[in-house]
A and B are shown apart, each in its own frame.
Chain A
Amino acid sequence: MAIALKSFCFLHLKKPETDFPVGFSSKKATIISVKRYTSMSASAIRTSGAVSISETFKKLKKQGKVALIPYITAGDPDLSTTAEALKVLDSCGSDIIELGVPYSDPLADGPVIQAASTRSLARGTNFDSIISMLKGVVPELCTPIALFTYYNPILKRGTEKFMSIVRDTGVHGLVVPDVPLEETEILRTEAKKKGIELVLLTTPTTPEYRMKAIVDGAEGFVYLVSSLGVTGTRASISGRVQALLQEIKESTTKPVAVGFGISTAEQVKQVAGWGADGVIVGSAMVKLLGEAKTPEEGLKELENFTLSLRSALD
């Protein structure tokens, strides 16, 4: 039996008040294999916490690597598992992690993420509890996090306040799928003030002139939606993605990550081969976590899956 070790990064923390001693181990003895991938330098010691999303992409580009961007829904099966899952993803080769805020009416999400949101909300997950969880776990992570949320929860709190709260947790990015380009200005302004990068989405139905405006305004990366539809695993990824990637890259030097539907190592490799700077895998991850018999089993499967995706990209 392999020696079970909890692997994590050694950090100098920015905020003295959230001082965790180096070598902190969680109450749950999560069994994670010793094989630990680092996308940064070979040395395990880092002098700062996660860097921004754009910085992350810059570093990866220098190394000629494609970013692995998993997505999970907060609070499914529960928030402490989410915290553990973030750590697993962090240590198993993720370059950026998207964390979904569960919402009652997720228009852009398919059945897997819908179900995860419903389960999470039924357990009593709310924005405040997610923020609490993040405050506890982000200091332990090297990977930058982007919050994926619908617009209404942002409006409820007021955009400025929302950005402040989010920034205080150390989150680096934001994806809001139901805000049209024309209205992202206000979000971007407030996000920028707090050093949060607002990712924008472009899709196969977006006309060229509009795509150009989107890539112009996007920060962190450009999110290319791979197909017409909502989130959810797909048997194959449309070849249109390759052409779209080319088109986008002619308009911008910003990194482009492809998401929606990507669920296997083969698909990850395929999309990376088409020129994507990053690959986003959501429903497949959410399914593993949410449908596992126990949280521990889910975390184990998550780890294995993430590692397999990582090696497909390497």
Chain B
Amino acid sequence: MASSISTFNSSNLLFISKEQTNPSSHFPSNIIKFASFPSKTTSNVSCSVTRDTSSVLPLEEHTKVENGSVLLQRPDSFGRFGKFGGKYVPETLMHALTELETSFHSLAGDEAFQKELAGILKDYVGRESPLYFAERLTEHYKRPNGEGPHIYLKREDLNHTGAHKINNAVAQALLAKILGKKRIIAETGAGQHGVATATVCARFGLECIIYMGAQDMERQALNVFRMRLLGAEVRPVHSGTATLKDATSEAIRDWVTNVETTHYILGSVAGPHPYPMMVREFHAVIGKETRKQALEKWGGKPDVLIACVGGGSNAMGLFHEFVDDSDVRLIGVEAAGFGLDSGKHAATLTKGEIGVLHGAMSYLLQDDDGQIVEPHSISAGLDYPGVGPEHSFLKDLGRAEYYSITDDEALEAFKRVSRLEGIIPALETSHALAYLEKICPTLPNGTKVVVNFSGRGDKDVHTAIKHLKL
């Protein structure tokens, strides 16, 4: 059955009620008075820049509507979500970013592109992914009186390559081809995005270079092999802490150097504009399918959406469709590692401060000196000291809630779901699943909960073996 859902669109408006706006902002925010969104690339740069410290919202880019709520563009024409986002990169990249944005917007209206992408998502990636009623998990969360929420799993693990990452990789590879770029670079932490990128490069015949932290290469050796098998060159990054953040920095440096021939397939909703928007749009199919499937299955919407958050791509993919549905709760789950007070975690939204990392203003884990710290999580995919700027925005707005789960809790969920449903979740996904333990007791009977099952756990068995005595 061909999906009739258009793959992505480029207009994004958010209704928020006045009470949700956060009046306190000690942080400077700059607003450009550009033409209306989407921006035209030949926009006049000599427009004035105004600074508004009194509100989080860019004043020029929202309009009031009758009931007092405010229409807000996500992002605005400079790639800001409130004060978050932006393009904090060396000047060398600015032109490439503008070019990327223009192409992206023109493709939004390009039927041929949309059709080709939809075809690939269906026949190559295997979409639509099922929305699966987890009967035994639901049973597990039933209270003594028989009441409890209904748990559904959005099966992104069933996609080709075993995670949601491929949605974005496939679309960006197509985009790169249209841009005439023959060389693809990407960063990877766990290797899932690297594998997805290597996969699409093989599929489209593109040169592929993956940057991976030397430390990460050791703990995800299987994925390194996969990438090489798929024809990619995996380059170890030894600088800094030799993990995902350093691989990302190195990928950005490569892009700065090779910008004319190379497209950078960024793996999450982080990085400079237009990436957070683009990657979200490419993953938004997750949420769109979920809405349709929920309607089919129970004639309504989900009540609660839960997803793990590293950079935030699978979460934004699920959430985006429902951000304007104020009756749908959005819950993101980050990695608390050894515990929030241990100093060894990746709970950016809980413990981070606002700063600039890899091109975007967002919450990030930094020390007193403003240096980016190395995070820790048992799951490499959540082991990122930053987070997508849109998540920072949704958090500050109070639209989404963010919690965290420790390594141990994630491992328990890893085991629990394997046993209760016969599905081995990725360790990243296990964080979202672990949160069910905390939230289900509080949910009214019949609450429809959808957990984004972002990936399968085959890649994690080596890690699990070290920790689980079975």
Contact = CB atoms under 8 A, between A and B. Distances in A.
A185 B51 contact: yes
A213 interface: yes
Given A152-B366, A155-B356, A156-B369, A182 B49 contact: yes
B383 to A, nearest CB: 15
A185 B48 CA distance: 9
Given A182-B49, A183-B49, A230 B95 contact: no
Contact of B369 (A111, A126, A178, A186): A126
A209 B239 contact: no
Contacts of A153: 369-371
A152 B355 contact: yes
Interface stretch (B124-132, B250-258, B338-346): B250-258
Contacts of B46: 209, 212-213, 216
Nearest to B53: A186
Interface string A114-128: 110010010000111
Contacts of B246: 105
B257 A156 contact: no
A107 B252 contact: yes
Contact of A228 (B78, B240, B259, B370): B259
Interface in B340-390: 353-359, 366, 368-373
Nearest to B26: A158
A14 interface: no
Interface in A143-162: 150-157, 159
Contacts of A104: 240, 371-373
Nearest to A103: B371
B90 interface: yes
Given A152-B370, A180-B87, A229-B257, A205 B95 contact: yes
Contacts of B353: 156
A202 interface: yes
B257 A230 contact: yes
Given A104-B372, A209-B45, A228-B259, A185 B30 contact: yes
Contacts of A111: 239
A183 B86 contact: yes
B239 A155 contact: no
Contacts of B30: 182-183, 185-186
A121 B241 CA distance: 12
Interface string B18-38: 000000000110101000000
Contact of B45 (A202, A204, A213): A213
Contacts of A192: none
B389 to A, nearest CB: 14
Contact of B240 (A118, A180, A205): A118
Contact of A230 (B256, B354, B372): B256
B66 interface: no
Contacts of A229: 92, 253, 256-257
Contacts of B51: 185-186, 189
Contacts, number: 148
Interface string A204-219: 1111011011101000
How many of chain A's residues touch chain B, expressed as a range? 35 or more
A156 B87 contact: no
Contacts of A156: 353, 355, 366, 368-370
A210 B372 CA distance: 31
Q: Which 3 pairs show the lowest CB-CB distances between chains A and B? A: A156-B370, A153-B370, A229-B257
Nearest to A121: B371
B89 interface: yes
B187 to A, nearest CB: 12
26 contacts: A105-B245, A108-B90, A121-B371, A152-B366, A155-B355, A156-B355, A156-B369, A177-B90, A177-B91, A178-B359, A180-B89, A182-B49, A182-B78, A185-B49, A186-B28, A186-B51, A203-B91, A203-B92, A204-B92, A205-B94, A206-B92, A212-B46, A213-B45, A216-B46, A228-B256, A230-B253
B44 interface: yes
A114 B258 CA distance: 19
Interface in A130-189: 150-157, 159, 177-183, 185-186, 189
A224 B372 CA distance: 28
A107 B257 contact: no
A248 interface: no
B253 A110 contact: yes
A152 B95 contact: no
Nearest to B373: A104
